[in-house]
Chains A and B, each alone.
Chain A
Amino acid sequence: MKVAAMSRESALRLVGPLLVGVAALLVWQLLCTAYAVPIYLFPKPTDIWSSFAANLPELMRALSVTLIVTLQAFVLAVVVGTAIAFVFNQSRLVEACLFPYAIILQVTPIVAISPLIIILVKDTRVALTMCAAIVALFPIISNTTLGLRSVDPGLINLFKANKASRLQTLARLRIPSALPYFFAGLRISSGLALIGAVVAEFVAGTGGMGSGLAYEILQAGFQLNIPLMFAALGLITAVGIVLFLVMAGISNAAIGSWHESHAEERGPR
C-alpha cells in the first residue's frame, strides 16, 4: 500500500515535469510556425534538433571537454573543501582565522578572477579547472563544516561518557552526522562546477584556446548560427540535470534509509 503510494508519488514527480516540457516545446513550435519567426531570430525546436544532429560530432567533442573540466573541478572542490572543513573542525582557531577568506573566495565573482588565473596558469585546461573548482568549493566547505558541528549533544555526551577518543568520535559520530549536510553541499557544488566551467570557458574562449560548449556558443554567436547556440545551451542544461540526478542518487543511496530529507511517511518523533 505504501509502496503503491510511493511509486505514484515518484511517477508524478517524473511524468509531471516531462508533460510540462513537452507542452512548452509544442507551444514554442506552433508559435514560431504561426508567426513565421525567422530562424536567425528565434529557431523552432525542430530547427534546433536538426542543427544538433548535423553538428553532433563537434558538439560531443565540445561536451566532453566541458564535462571533463566540470568533473575535475568538482572532484578537486570536494577533496579540498572536505579537507578544509576537517581542519576547521579540528581547530576553532584555524576556522576563526580562515573562514572569512573562504567567504571572500565565495563572494568574488569568478568572471572577475578568471582572466587573471588564465593569464597566470599556462595550461588552459588547468586554468579552467581551477576557476570552476573555486566556484564549487564554498558550499562543500560551509556545509561540511556545519555538518561536522551539528551533532546531537546527547550523542556527544554518550560518547564522552564512554570515554571515546577524538578519532572515534570523529569517525563514528561527527562524520555520519555531517553526511546529510555534505550531500546537500555536493548537490549545490556539482551545479556550480558546471557554471564555473562554462563561465571560465567564455572568458578563455575568446583567447582561442577553449573548445568546450561555451566556446561553441561563442562561435555560433559570431556566425549568427542561432540553432547551434540553442543546441549547445540545451546540452549544458542536460549536463546540469544529469549531475543533479546523479548527486541525488548518491545521496539517496548513502543516507536515504535514515535521514529525514529522504523520509517517506514518517510520524512525529
Chain B
Amino acid sequence: MLRNTMKKTAGAGLVSLPLAVVEVKGAQKTFPNGFHALDPVDLTVRSGEFLTLIGPSGCGKSTLLGLMTDLIKPSSGQMRWWGGTFDSTGAAGKRLSIVFQDATLMPWATILANVRLPLDLAKVSRGEANERVRAALAKVGLAGFEDRLPRQLSGGMRMRVSIARALVTEPDLLLMDEPFGALDEFTRNKLDADLLELWRDRKLSIVFVTHSIYEAVFLSTRVVVMAARPGRIARVIDIDAPWPRDEEFRGSPRFAALCSDLSRALKEASEESGGQAAGGER
C-alpha cells in the first residue's frame, strides 16, 4: 500500500498528495462563545509519521486534534482525510482511532465489551470481534483481564484498555490526546516504548499530544510546537534521531541535545504567546 512506499523519516521534500493522511487547510476555530482558539492552521499529517503536538496549556492542541477527528468543525478552512471528506473514512486503509486523555471506558461493561465497542458499532460478528479483541488485549499486555470491570483495573491498565480499543479496528491513523498524562514516569516510559513498537509493527500514522518534552523527542519523527492566544503553529521541528529508539537513546547526548532544542523552541513559543505565558508542564 501507499505508506509502504515511504520511508519513516518525515523528509520535508517527500510531501506529495497521495501520502497525506490528514490535511488541515487553513482551518481555524472560533468557539460559539466567541473565543478564538485557533488561527488558520496549515498542517499535513503524512503517512507513517509520528507527529507530536506540544505547546503551552490552552494553545489549542486538543482543538486541533478535535478538528482532525471531526469532533470539532472548523469555523472556516478545510479538513481532508486521505484526500476526501470525513465520511469517506472508516473504509479499509482509511481507518482512524482516537485515544482520549482519560481512558473513557464504559463503567458498566467488561473490558472485553469495552474494547469490542468499535467492532460492535461497525456490526462485526460477535465471534470474529471477540477474537480480535483478545488479540488487541494481548498486544497491550492485558490478556486474561477480559471479564474484569474498568473499576477493577489501575489507571495505567485502563489507559492500555483504551489503547487496545483504539487498535482493535486496525486503524491507519491513531490520534492521541495526552494519553499518558496522568501516569507516573515509569509507566509512561514503558507505554511509550510499547507505543513505538506498535507504530513500527503496524506502520501506523500517529498524531500525539503531550506536555512532556522528553516524551515528544523520544517518540516523534516530527514535532509541531504551538503558541497560544491565539492558538497557532509556532515551529515545526524534525526529530531525525535514528531508529529503533530504546532506553539507551534516552541516555544519549543526542537525546539531550534534541530535548534542549525543543525546550528552547517551546520557550520561544511561550514568549510569543499573548497574555501571560503558561509553562510547558502543567
Contacts and interface: CB of A to CB of B under 8 A. Distances in A.
A and B interact: yes
Interface of A: 152, 154-155, 157-164, 168, 172-173, 176, 179, 255, 257-259, 266, 269
A158 B104 contact: yes
Q: Name A's interface SS.
A: helix
A179 B109 CA distance: 13
Nearest to A267: B151
Q: Name B's interface SS.
A: loop
B146 interface: no
A257 B108 CA distance: 8
B227 interface: no
Contacts of B151: 258, 266, 269
A168 B119 CA distance: 12
13 contacts: A152-B104, A157-B69, A158-B98, A158-B104, A158-B117, A159-B121, A161-B96, A161-B97, A172-B117, A176-B106, A258-B108, A259-B108, A269-B151
B85 to A, nearest CB: 13
Interface of B: 69-71, 90, 96-98, 100, 102, 104, 106-109, 117-118, 120-122, 149, 151, 155
B122 A162 contact: yes
A97 to B, nearest CB: 24
A154 B108 contact: no
Given A158-B98, A258-B107, A259-B107, A163 B149 contact: no
Contacts of B149: 257-258
A161 B69 contact: yes
B192 to A, nearest CB: 22
A179 B149 CA distance: 17
A161 B106 CA distance: 15
Given A158-B104, A258-B108, A163 B71 contact: no
